């Protein structure tokens, strides 16, 4: 294992923790749910004995919104980056979640350096606070740090708008302070969310990002399976997801992601698909 390079600490320039707020435009599903509620209320007033139908409609609309939130790649609750925008051309994006991890992140950074690849790290605020030097290293070595919540609670999608905002804002403050640049993207823990998330992200000027394909490298037993999931059908504008935190281990106890990454980076080089970061593909980037 090579010795990871530790960068010097970036100068302490105060940086605003949030980008400019986006205007919230409710998704058609939200209008639909609102229409069902209004219709149910009107039906109750006109024909009180029809209450089971009205209640059934309301429950069904809630179930539909819940199902949309449990589907990480769905855009039913609002905009969601599942691929890079068209102007990204041939580029692809590697996103790396759940770090920083003091054992795995430095080795991931060395591999990325070896292939001159840029990646987007979705980091957990609490871990960033514990291992700030690896957030600094990610930025110093040309990668992007984005928001993956402060505590990565799996109950995130069950919380209301205020708790959700607290959690995202705390990570936004932590990561901005350490990285010196405010995150522009948010990825929900396990990709699960609810209809309250999009207005909160708009308020904080963040964009929701999921992925095109993921390797399930926190649960897989061998690197080959993860490689196939990520590489079969690899195409321009794909967003790939692997993990430097919570990494599954192979029979030798080695994190799978460290076996997977060289194959992935080689395959992209052979297919002439350059790596980019999500933020480099935002419209407001120069
Ligand atoms: Zn995660």
Tally of CB atoms within 10 A around 74: 18
Per annotation, catalytic residue among 148, 243, 244, 259: 243
Cα of 266 to ligand 1 centre, how many Å? 25
Q: How large is the average pLDDT for residues 184-190?
A: 95
Q: What pLDDT is recorded for position 33?
A: 75
Q: For residue 3, is pLDDT > 80?
A: no
Which tokens belong to 102? 């003091």
Q: Residue 14 — very low, low, confident or very high, per pLDDT cuts 50/70/90?
A: low
Angle between the N-to-C axes of helices 104-114 and 132-140, in degrees from 0 to 180, rounded to the nearest 10: 10
Q: What pLDDT is recorded for position 59?
A: 79
Cα of 97 to ligand 1 centre, how many Å? 5
Alpha-carbon gap, residue 61 to 25, rounded angstroms: 19
Report CA torsion sign: 45, 58, 158, 75: negative
Evaluate whether 173 touches 46 at the Cβ level (below 8 Å).
no
Per annotation, catalytic residue among 97, 98, 101, 244: 97
In tens, the pLDDT along 203-233 reads 999 999 999 999 999 999 899 999 999 999 9
Cα of 48 to ligand 1 centre, how many Å? 46
Alpha-carbon gap, residue 92 to 130, rounded angstroms: 30
Catalytic residue flag (residue 232): no
Q: For residue 64, is pLDDT > 80?
A: no
Q: For residue 4, is pLDDT > 50?
A: no
Q: Residue 138 — very low, low, confident or very high, per pLDDT cuts 50/70/90?
A: very high
Burial environment of residue 14 by CB neighbours within 10 A (0 to 12, 13 to 18, 19 or more): exposed
Catalytic residue flag (residue 97): yes
Alpha-carbon gap, residue 210 to 206, rounded angstroms: 13
Q: Residue 15 — very low, low, confident or very high, per pLDDT cuts 50/70/90?
A: low
The residue with greater pLDDT, 113 or 18, is 113
In tens, the pLDDT along 35-63 reads 778 887 888 788 888 778 778 877 787 77
Q: What pLDDT is recorded for position 10?
A: 44
């Amino acid at each position: 294992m090579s010795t990871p390079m530790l960068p010097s600490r970036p100068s302490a320039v105060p940086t605003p923790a949030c980008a400019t707020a986006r205007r919230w435009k409710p998704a058609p599903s939200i209008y639909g749910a609102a229409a069902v509620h209004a219709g149910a209320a009107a039906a109750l007033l006109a024909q009180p004995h029809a209450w089971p139908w009205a209640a059934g409609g309301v429950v069904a609309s809630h179930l539909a919104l819940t199902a949309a939130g449990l589907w990480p790649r769905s855009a039913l609750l609002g905009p969601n980056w599942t691929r890079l925008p068209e102007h990204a051309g041939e580029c692809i994006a590697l996103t790396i979640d759940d770090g920083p991890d003091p054992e795995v992140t430095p080795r991931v950074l060395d591999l990325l350096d070896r292939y001159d690849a840029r990646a987007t790290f979705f980091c957990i605020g609490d871990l960033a606070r514990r291992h700030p030097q690896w957030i600094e290293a990610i930025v110093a070595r040309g990668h992007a740090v984005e928001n993956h919540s402060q505590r990565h609670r799996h109950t995130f999608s069950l919380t209301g708008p205020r708790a959700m905002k607290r959690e995202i804002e705390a990570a936004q403050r932590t990561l901005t302070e350490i990285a010196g640049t405010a995150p522009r993207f948010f990825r929900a823990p396990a990709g699960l969310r609810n209809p309250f998330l999009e207005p909160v992200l708009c308020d904080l000027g963040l964009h929701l990002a999921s992925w095109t394909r993921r390797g399930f490298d926190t649960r897989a037993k061998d690197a080959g399976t993860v490689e196939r999931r990520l590489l079969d059908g690899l195409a321009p504008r794909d967003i790939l997801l692997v993990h430097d935190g919570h990494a599954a281990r192979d029979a030798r106890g080695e994190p799978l992601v460290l076996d997977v990454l060289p194959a992935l980076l080689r395959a992209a080089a052979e297919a002439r698909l350059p790596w980019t970061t999500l933020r480099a593909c935002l419209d407001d980037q120069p």
